[in-house]
Amino acid sequence: MATEVIIPSMGESISSGILAAWHVQDGQFVEKDQALYELETDKITSEANAEVAGIIHISVAADEEVDIGQVVATIDESASAPAPQSGSAEPAAAAQPASNTHSLSPAARKAAEETGVNTGTLAGSGKDGRVTKGDILAAAQAPAPQPVASAPTPPAPVSSPALLGERSETRKKMSPLRRKIAERLVTATQEAAMLTTFNEVDMSAVMQLRKKHQEKFIEKHGIKLGFMSFFTKAVTHALQAIPAVNARIEGNEIVTQHYYDIGVAVGTEKGLMVPTLRNCDQKNFAQIESDIIGYAKAAREGKIQMSDLEGGVFTISNGGIYGSMLSTPIINYPQPAILGLHNITERAVVIKGEIVARPMMYLALSYDHRLIDGKEAVTFLNKIKEAIEDPSRLLFGI
């Protein structure tokens, strides 16, 4: 009996995707629930697992576009798992290195392309002998074998083209997710009257609070207290104070939202994803930190769900983790605004007539000027600044 491997439905708006990578090889015995392939759509990247155990027969190659409901492989359930080879305690499949690049994860394939490492020569450290990104990077950093000394040969004449180096290019199709990101960014710039206003915030109070309570926080909740939970609560506080920012335009109507679902931008190898933290007004710092960690892990592992990305009234994007000093973020349309966070640097500031060094961060609020006036935008940003510089305001709602 053969069981069909079918591309599953992933929501009404998704009709096709790219079969980005196979995690198994044609003719391999697969276990039930073993990861089979990675599918990229215009919204998410996800993995599919085997529903049954047996020998898999692949009918669609990696990097091919597939439709929802399409059969991409079959699994022969009548086949049994291969017996271990004589003289070896390990199954034959596990003893073989993953030499087929289709069995590599996207991160490992990218590392192999960039480093030029031949994965067929590596013994993988991953599950079932799978070659990981770490294996490839380690091989790339290993010292090359020294050549046997030989008589020196005279240098060849150097021609002009050689001075320029190799003039090579690589061309590949945009992934569905990257195409969708591009479309949404263009839509935002064409549909909204975007404007950005800036401010700076002294991070001293938040940093002191984190230092004072970090140990107890980890002991109780098992996670670290980060900056994002402070900014998420500060944004929620500002949305409650300035309802015009918690709205959207639909046709000729302004729809004001009375809930606080905040999107947090997460960078992945496939592109930017914005999972949504629900009901932030009802969550404490630990719950927010836990949500962020969980969504970020799911996004980077390709396990995030469509429902995790839907909705959202406002977005926070933290470019500071990459070293960004200042930027003008593009709104996550049809949301009306986005807050851009940047890196924290020691700068000279004047406090009570004295020049002192403080850990400062620039804030950037991009917003749809059709909906939000300059006064409301500046007031909203000031509310965030006040809450970060004096976090007790979040406790008392002032």
Does residue 10 form part of some domain?
Answer: yes
Q: Which residue segment(s) compose the domain that 354 sits in?
A: 178-396
Shared domain for 210 and 342, answered yes or no, is yes
pLDDT at 8: 85
Shared domain for 205 and 341, answered yes or no, is yes
Count the residues in the chain: 398
Does residue 245 form part of some domain?
Answer: yes
Shared domain for 194 and 320, answered yes or no, is yes
| CB contact burial 215-236 (16+ within 10 A = b; e otherwise) | eebeeeeebebbbbbbbbbbbb
* Number of other CB atoms surrounding residue 381 within 10 Å: 23
Task: Judge whether 369 counts as a catalytic residue.
Answer: yes
Does residue 97 form part of some domain?
Answer: no
CATH number at residue 280: 3.30.559.10
Shared domain for 186 and 238, answered yes or no, is yes
Shared domain for 202 and 335, answered yes or no, is yes
CATH number at residue 20: 2.40.50.100
Shared domain for 343 and 289, answered yes or no, is yes
Does residue 64 form part of some domain?
Answer: yes
Shared domain for 204 and 338, answered yes or no, is yes
pLDDT at 155: 63
Catalytic residue among 63, 128, 221, 369: 369
Shared domain for 73 and 108, answered yes or no, is no
Residue 147, preceding bond cis, omega within 30 degrees? no
Task: Judge whether 202 counts as a catalytic residue.
Answer: no
Q: Going by C-beta distance under 8 Å and a sequence separation of 6 or more, which residues neighbour residue 348?
A: 355, 356, 357
Does residue 92 form part of some domain?
Answer: no
Shared domain for 209 and 291, answered yes or no, is yes
- C-alpha 304/C-alpha 44 separation (Å) is 7
pLDDT at 106: 61
Q: Which pair of structure tokens corresponds to residue 275?
A: 């999972």
Radius of gyration in angstroms for the set of CA atoms belonging to the chain, rounded to a whole number: 26
Does residue 162 form part of some domain?
Answer: no
Catalytic residue among 33, 281, 373, 390: 373
User: End of a domain among 125, 141, 157?
Assistant: 141
Does residue 378 form part of some domain?
Answer: yes
In sequence order, the β-bridge partners of residue 19 are 39, 64
Shared domain for 69 and 128, answered yes or no, is no
pLDDT at 158: 56
Q: Going by C-beta distance under 8 Å and a sequence separation of 6 or more, which residues neighbour residue 295?
A: 264, 266, 275, 277, 304, 308
pLDDT at 315: 95
CATH number at residue 122: 4.10.320.10
Contact in structure between 383 and 242 (CB atoms under 8 Å): yes
Shared domain for 200 and 349, answered yes or no, is yes
Contact in structure between 270 and 45 (CB atoms under 8 Å): yes
Shared domain for 75 and 112, answered yes or no, is no
Q: Which pair of structure tokens corresponds to residue 8?
A: 């599953």
Helix (H) or strand (E) holding 197: strand 194-202
- Which burial class, exposed, middle or buried, applies to 70 when counting CB atoms under 10 A from its CB (0-12, 13-18, 19+)? middle
- In total, how many domains does the chain have? 3
| Local confidence pLDDT in tens for the 398 residues of the chain | 788 899 888 766 677 788 888 999 988 999 988 989 888 876 677 788 899 898 999 998 887 888 888 899 999 888 777 766 555 444 444 444 444 454 666 667 767 777 777 777 777 766 567 777 667 777 776 665 555 555 566 665 555 555 667 788 888 777 777 777 788 889 888 888 999 999 999 999 999 999 999 999 999 999 999 999 999 999 999 999 999 999 999 989 999 999 999 999 888 777 778 899 999 999 999 999 999 999 988 888 878 887 888 889 999 999 988 889 999 999 988 899 999 999 999 999 999 899 999 999 999 999 999 999 999 999 999 999 999 999 998 887 78
Does residue 344 form part of some domain?
Answer: yes
* Number of other CB atoms surrounding residue 139 within 10 Å: 17
